[in-house]
Structure 1
Amino acid sequence: MSDSTEALVERVARKTYQRDMQGEDWEMSLAIDGLLSTGESEFVDAARDLIDRQIELQGTEGKLGYDDPKPWLDDGARAQSESSALVNGCLEFYDRTGEEKYLDAARKQVEFLLDEATRLKDGTISFASEPIELWVDSIYLVALPLARYGAETGDEAALEEAVDHIVAQEKLLQDPYEGLFRHEWRETPNTYPESTFWLRGNGWAAAGILNMLEYVPDDHEHYDTLVDSFQRVCAAMLDLQDASGLWHHIPDDPWTAKEASGTLQFAYAFHKGVELGLLEEDAGYVEAAERAFEVCKSVVDEGGSVTRVAVPPGGPDVPLDVASYGQGWFLLAADQLEG
């Protein structure tokens, strides 16, 4: 007899906070979000321990965590955006406790992005200090935390920066014919160093825009652009789901591996999109989400690890393994579908 979802969630959550996440930032941020989604005091306390440690390590520039060099960036480049995802955990614990240290930590990280980050010629925050590039990851890791911070603190500059970032992403990375997002665009030369329609990248886009819409007023001049972008990527992905319920690592290439973290992102985004009235209830999104989550239950091993997760940096040929964000997305999808 297979385990219940409740039992799987407990196993995955326990394995998540037992992981060695030293040196992680964005990966850990999804683990924190997932632990929080369980609502269990044991796991919420574990999430607080994780975010407290990242605040202790916050550097002079304002970036949370260790700010270690990233092996997937060019020598000398700085990852400007990846620690920004931890702003969500800071704001969550500020909301829960009222302790100013959490708001102060979020403010310092946001100020770094607004005041110090390297930008494209059009003003959009670059993923790294060099080369100047736009990565689809930043929809979730940069724009979403900026939007939440802006909405919750009344910082209009942060909210507008978040919206402008999505508008730039829609223009430069979302294919006008397919509706899917490419991985990354480089300003000079004007090219796509990684042009594939990467599964988790499209998951970052769908889930990131969806959650951002909770913070953007519906009378904002770009609100409809965000909704349209979200709906187009979801419509494209709905047609690409494998009969197994999983999606392929490169969604339009059936010869690539079936991958769990992106599948969980779309289970989450499809279900929540219908719940919020942004996706049509009778278009098959809920059924697709349920198939996706059901098959992902089977990739959880006896120890609570979510397997079949593509590891960083996420290009076409990366291996499948276990990662903190895979753990987090399982917990978030479980809460959305069955919480």
Structure 2
Amino acid sequence: MNGIGLQKKEIEQAIDKVIEGMIGLKPAIKEDTPASIVSMDVWDWSQGVGLFSLFLYYKETKDSEILSYLTDWYDKRLAEGLPKPNVNTMCPLLTLSYLYEETFRPKYLHICMEWAEYAAGRMPRTPEGGIAHTAVDSPNEGELWDDTLYMTVLFLGRMGMLLKRDDYVQESVRQFLVHLKYLTDVKTGLFFHGWTFKEGHRFAEALWGRGNAWYTAGLVDFLDMVEVQSGVKGFLLSSLDRQIGKLAELQADSGMWHTLLNDPSSYEETSATAGFAYGILKAVRRGYVGADCGAVGFRALKAVLDRIDGNGVARGVSYGTRMGRTLDFYKEIPQCPMPYGQSMALLMLVEGSKHLD
């Protein structure tokens, strides 16, 4: 299927390096956030994305060292004290919910239950009940961001299944639908970064790469976690299919995608490309999209593999990206190694190896 001469051993070696690169990340630029979103020693969304990929790798391999790293990470953060819940700080709870099933530590479940209750019932909402993208440095009142689906909604759906709380499951499904309603670009099938009810527009109307990748990578995992009614599942997958069709058109000759998907003057961005590769390849394996899409995914995989340096660090990853009001804002986001860049690369490589079996 791949047509690019990849060997499974090459991918396995890259996996080991990427994991080492993630765990050892240190800030390479001056950060503008209250706490680092580069160092893995902080409880926030960026680290949460990284932890989830490590857990999925553990489930594939049963590598006890990965499990020990994860439990040590959570125990240290819990001892330090957790930040206040918001959309972004919710992200690490997804992995913690799975670790509970591995360790049966009551504290893990108790925290997950508390935060899931907050997400389902008390987290700030927009009109029509969407989860407002609250963050540590801004309430973002009345704003829907595509990031929210990955950072909070996956966890809410997962907890619905774990606790047998159908209300949580249905709320997670509703969040996907509300976000798709306001963020879908009907002309292309891609997704805008955000929508504001207060001002009634989509900010810069940015078809931002990583924001789109949160849907591509997130949906295929959401459907593994949550039992979705066939009609809704069909709707979600039709959105994925149309998105992938447009992505195939916009893929650069290098195999990468640009940080603004429809703007070749914006830089090619690694975390989005890896997220697309993962989501596309997994969608092919699950039968969600046609097998011909696999070539698109493998071109992206090869392109990302070429951007992983000798230390296992994925290069060309854009730093955390707030809501932009101009398209130039996205073009000017600095690039540096990030946990989510490592995470999407890890997910992509593990998924790619399955296609080489």
CA contact 2:42–2:77 (8 Å) conserved in 1: no
CA contact 2:209–2:260 (8 Å) conserved in 1: yes
Q: Please name the residue that 1:115 is paired with.
A: 121
Find the partner of 1:326 among 315, 329, 341: 341
User: 1:63-78 maps to which residues of 2 (within 5 A)?
Assistant: 65-67=82-84
The answer to which of 182-191 and 293-302 deviates more is 293-302
- Unpaired stretches in structure 2, ≥5 consecutive residues: 1-6, 26-38, 323-329
Q: CA deviation at 1:221?
A: 4.8
Find the partner of 1:34 among 17, 38, 53: 53
CA contact 2:130–2:179 (8 Å) conserved in 1: no
Q: Which has the higher contact order (CA 8 A, sep 6+)?
A: 2
Q: Name the aligned partner's letter for residue 35 of structure 1.
A: L
Q: Distance in 1 between matches of 2:107 and 2:206?
A: 41
Find the partner of 1:286 among 280, 284, 294: 294
Query: Structure 1's 221 and 104: CA in aligned 2 closer, same or farther, altered over 3 A?
Result: farther
Q: Please name the residue that 1:274 is paired with.
A: 284
Q: CA deviation at 1:220?
A: 5.1
Q: Please name the residue that 2:33 is paired with.
A: none
Find the partner of 2:42 among 12, 15, 23: 23
Query: Structure 1's 121 and 292: CA in aligned 2 closer, same or farther, altered over 3 A?
Result: same
3-state SS of paired residue (1:8): helix
1:140-171 CA deviation, whole Å, 9 max, x = no partner? 11211111111222111211111111111111
Q: Please name the residue that 1:182 is paired with.
A: 192
Q: CA deviation at 1:180?
A: 0.4
Q: Distance in 1 between matches of 2:140 and 2:297?
A: 38
Q: Name the aligned partner's letter for residue 10 of structure 2.
A: S
User: 1:1-339 maps to which residues of 2 (within 5 A)?
Assistant: 4-19=10-25, 20-36=39-55, 37=57, 39=61, 40-57=63-80, 65-67=82-84, 80-128=86-134, 129-219=139-229, 221-281=231-291, 283=292, 285-313=293-321, 315-339=330-354
Q: Distance in 2 between matches of 1:88 and 1:269?
A: 18
Q: Name the aligned partner's letter for residue 47 of structure 2.
A: M
Q: TM-score, normalised by structure 2?
A: 0.84
CA contact 2:307–2:315 (8 Å) conserved in 1: yes
How large is the Cα RMSD of the aligned pairs? 2.0
Query: Structure 1's 49 and 194: CA in aligned 2 closer, same or farther, altered over 3 A?
Result: farther
1:10-47 CA deviation, whole Å, 9 max, x = no partner? 12211212233243411111221222215332233212
Q: TM-score, normalised by structure 1?
A: 0.88
CA contact 1:54–1:66 (8 Å) conserved in 2: no
Q: Please name the residue that 1:61 is paired with.
A: none
3-state SS of paired residue (1:185): strand
1:282-311 CA deviation, whole Å, 9 max, x = no partner? x3x211111111121121122221110011
Q: CA deviation at 1:116?
A: 2.0
CA contact 1:185–1:194 (8 Å) conserved in 2: no
CA contact 2:144–2:195 (8 Å) conserved in 1: yes
- Unpaired stretches in structure 1, ≥5 consecutive residues: 59-64, 68-78
1:304-329 CA deviation, whole Å, 9 max, x = no partner? 21110011116342011110111111
Query: Structure 1's 6 and 232: CA in aligned 2 closer, same or farther, altered over 3 A?
Result: same
3-state SS of paired residue (2:186): coil
CA contact 2:277–2:301 (8 Å) conserved in 1: yes
Q: Name the aligned partner's letter for residue 67 of structure 2.
A: V
- Give the aligned length: 319
Q: Distance in 2 between matches of 1:121 and 1:214?
A: 29
Q: CA deviation at 1:57?
A: 4.6
The answer to which of 149-158 and 265-274 deviates more is 149-158
